[in-house]
Amino acid sequence: MAHWSHDAVFYHIYPLGLCGAPHQNRFDAPPVPRLAKLRGWIEPMRELGVNALYLGPLFESSAHGYDTADYYHLDRRLGSDETLAELAADLRANGIRLILDGVFNHVGRDFWAFRDLLANGQSSAYRDWFAGVDFGRRSPYGDPFAYVGWNDHYDLVKLNLSNPEVRAHLFGAVRQWVERFGIDGLRLDVAELIDPDFLRELAAFCKGLKPDFWLMGEQVHGDYRRLAGPEMLDSATNYEVYKGLYSSLNDRNYFEVAYALNRQFGPQGLYRGLPLYNFADNHDVNRVATLLREPAHLVPLYALLFTIPGVPSVYYGSEWGLGGQKGRDDWPLRPRLSLPEARLQAPYPDLASALARFARLRHSLPALRHGDYTQLHVAAEQLAFARRHGDQLAVVALNAAATSASLGLTVDLPDGTTLVDALEPGVELAVRGRRLAVEVPGRRARVLVSAPR
């Protein structure tokens, strides 16, 4: 039986941003249950076809959430542990699985064990909890010791994940998240920098808690098989396809994304059967509505996202074409949003209904969730491919040009077979001489589905 993630449509929220939390934490302040605001987003997620929610960092931190101070309690800017428990229960009651951010590579300088190291120096019981601690040098902060910071950011202190006590502390937190909040999985921050032995042990631990637990690792470059596979993680962030989604449209060069998809999922694909995590934007990159030169390309872009192998994810607000560009920091990508104002002020209010149609299509067609991938046609502004699962064949034809395009596709179906456009049911096409003549309107897609033989 396939893992539930193969059938998932993800929604991604950065809670500190959406909920309007202060950018800096005051550790003496009382909890404010801002996270409860997300309960009002459950019905819009359901309307969008979402059945899995990935929440960015939630636990006590100094600023942006990736600088953890305490893994065992919700960030007071978002509320108390009970606030999260109530949200988790509501999600579960509405058939939406909950995925949290596992930030295990590094912590913030306010992390309790690092504070002990600052206070007690070489006599601290936690000096071996952190990577590269050297009392022969000073840190950029002027501390009487040096340490390894993530990507030379010394407000993010790298953990020594080979230390059994550190592993026990982190695994204990995961156990609490499963038992207290019933979480279904983790997205692992900067997983590409984490020792595979730690990931392997974490995977075994999590599967022991919950056999269908889902683990997805953040990887920007390199071979995703380093993270995902047997006894390792279940998925990885598909940055290769992410880039091709928008640049193929901007450059009028579908060959770029077609090459990536064929390399990953074609007959000799590296990741056949691996449900990579596909996305058009997230909390770290410019919003796709800002990246695209032509807003009309949002529809074919999301049509592709929802029909390729892997699992699709939508970043909050992007279903309405919300823009966002990095400034001096990442907060412009992580805005405060409130319903219903966000819908009323949406730059492209009709986009969400298009995404909902694509999600319904994905849920209804096993070929789009589990099928293989065969490229049928590629040109500068047109792309077509087939997804087959059992007796069902789905032919996806995309046209990024402003005018309609006529495509002649070779399909593995007997002559006379009729295919119906699942996006426009009145359109039916018949196979003639193993060929299918498809007319695709400008900036649109067709998803042609064969009846069972």
57 neighbors 103 (Cβ within 8 angstroms): yes
State the pLDDT at residue 17. 98
CA distances from 133 to 44, 145, 445 (A): 47, 6, 55
CATH of the domain at 378: 2.60.40.1180
Residue 1 in this model has a pLDDT that exceeds 80: no
Count, residues in the chain: 453
Mean confidence (pLDDT) of the chain: 97
Are residues 364 and 382 located together in one domain of the fold?
no
Asked whether residue 98 falls in the same domain as residue 118, the answer is no
Q: What's the pLDDT at 2?
A: 82
Three-state DSSP state, 396: strand
Tokens, residue 286: 């410019």
Rounded to the nearest 5 percent, the helix, strand and coil shares of the chain are: 35, 25, 40
Q: What CATH number is given to the structural domain containing 112?
A: 3.90.400.10
Q: Tokens 């269908």 label which residue?
A: 212
Q: Are residues 175 and 61 in the same domain?
A: yes
* For residues 217-235, average pLDDT: 96
Other C-beta atoms closer than 10 Å to the C-beta of 363 total 15
Q: Which two tokens stand for residue 5?
A: 């993630």
Do residue 45 and residue 69 come from a single domain? yes
309 and 185 housed in the same domain: yes
pLDDT band at 21 (very low <50, low <70, confident <90, very high): very high
Residue ending a domain, among 327, 353, 368, is 368
Per-residue model confidence as pLDDT tens digits over 157-192? 999 999 999 999 999 999 999 999 999 999 999 999
In this structure, what DSSP letter does residue 27 have?
T
Q: What is the predicted pLDDT for the residue at 82?
A: 98
- For residues 222 and 332, membership in a common domain is answered with yes
Contacts of 162 (CB under 8 A, 6+ apart): 195, 197, 198
**Joined tokens for residue 269:** 């694909």
Q: Mean of the pLDDT values across residues 343-360?
A: 95
* Residue 171 sits in the same domain as residue 232: yes
- Residue type at position 318: S
Q: How far is CA 234 from CA 2, 5, 201, in A?
A: 12, 9, 14
Please report the pLDDT score of residue 295 as a whole number.
97
pLDDT(60) > 60: yes
Domain of residue 146, residue span: 108-160
Residue 377, CB-side half-sphere exposure with 13 Å CA sphere? 22
Give the pLDDT confidence of 82-115 residue by residue, as tens digits: 999 999 999 999 999 999 999 999 999 999 999 9
Contact 280, 305 (CB under 8 A): yes
Q: Please answer whether residues 64 and 116 qualify as being in contact, where contact means their C-beta atoms are separated by less than 8 angstroms.
A: no
Judge residue 408's burial from the number of C-beta atoms within 10 Å of its C-beta, 0-12 exposed, 13-18 middle, 19 or more buried: exposed
Q: What percent of the chain lies above the pLDDT cut of 70?
A: 100
Task: Assess whether pLDDT exceeds 90 at residue 399.
Answer: yes
User: What is the four-CA torsion angle of 350, 356, 357, 363, rounded to 10 degrees?
Assistant: 170
Is residue 3 scored above 80 in pLDDT? yes
d(CA 72, CA 364): 39
Tokens representing 302 are: 């999301």
CATH number, domain containing residue 303: 3.20.20.80
Task: Render pLDDT for 33-51 as a digit per residue (tens, 0 to 9).
Answer: 999 999 999 999 999 999 9
pLDDT of 224 strictly over 70: yes
pLDDT tens per residue across span 284-319: 999 999 999 999 999 999 999 999 999 999 999 999
Question: Is the pLDDT reported for residue 453 higher than 60?
Answer: no
| 412 and 270 fall within a common domain | no
Task: Give the lowest-confidence range in 134-138, 253-257, 325-329.
Answer: 325-329
* Cα 357 from Cα 76, distance rounded (Å): 38
The pLDDT of 396-416, averaged and rounded, is 97
Distances 149 to 15, 34, 80 between C-alpha atoms, Å: 25, 30, 29
381 and 302 in one domain?
no
Half-sphere exposure at residue 288, Cβ-oriented, CA atoms within 13 angstroms: 31
Q: What mean pLDDT comes out for the span 412-423?
A: 95
pLDDT level of residue 5 (50, 70, 90 thresholds): very high
Q: Which residues pair with 385 in a beta bridge?
A: 375, 396
Which residues, at least 6 apart from 401, have a Cβ–Cβ distance to it below 8 Å?
A: 381, 382, 442, 443
To the nearest 10°, report the CA torsion of 153, 157, 160, 166: -150
Residue-level pLDDT at 217: 98
**Could you report the per-residue pLDDT of 382-392, keeping only the tens digit for each?**
999 999 999 99
Q: What is the DSSP letter of 195?
A: -
The two beta strands, 97-102 and 106-108, are unpaired
The reply to whether 427 and 403 lie within a common domain is yes
Is the pLDDT assigned to residue 452 strictly greater than 70? no
The full 3-state SS of 151-192, as one line of letters, equals: CCEEEEEEECCCCHHHHHHHHHHHHHHHHHHCCCEEEECCHH
Closest-CA residue to 368 (of 337, 397, 340, 389) = 389
The helix/strand count (H/E) of the chain reads as 13, 21
- Looking at 368, 385, 402, which one is the last position of a domain? 368
**Count of the separate structural domains present in the chain:** 3
For the entire predicted model, the pTM comes to: 0.97
Residues 166 and 127 in one domain: no
Q: Identify whether residues 154 and 237 lie together within a single domain.
A: no
What three-state secondary structure class fits 118?
helix
For residues 202-219, give the mean pLDDT.
98
Contact, 16 vs 57, CB < 8 A? Answer: yes
Comparing CA positions, the residue from 223, 149, 230, 237 lying closest to residue 189 is: 237
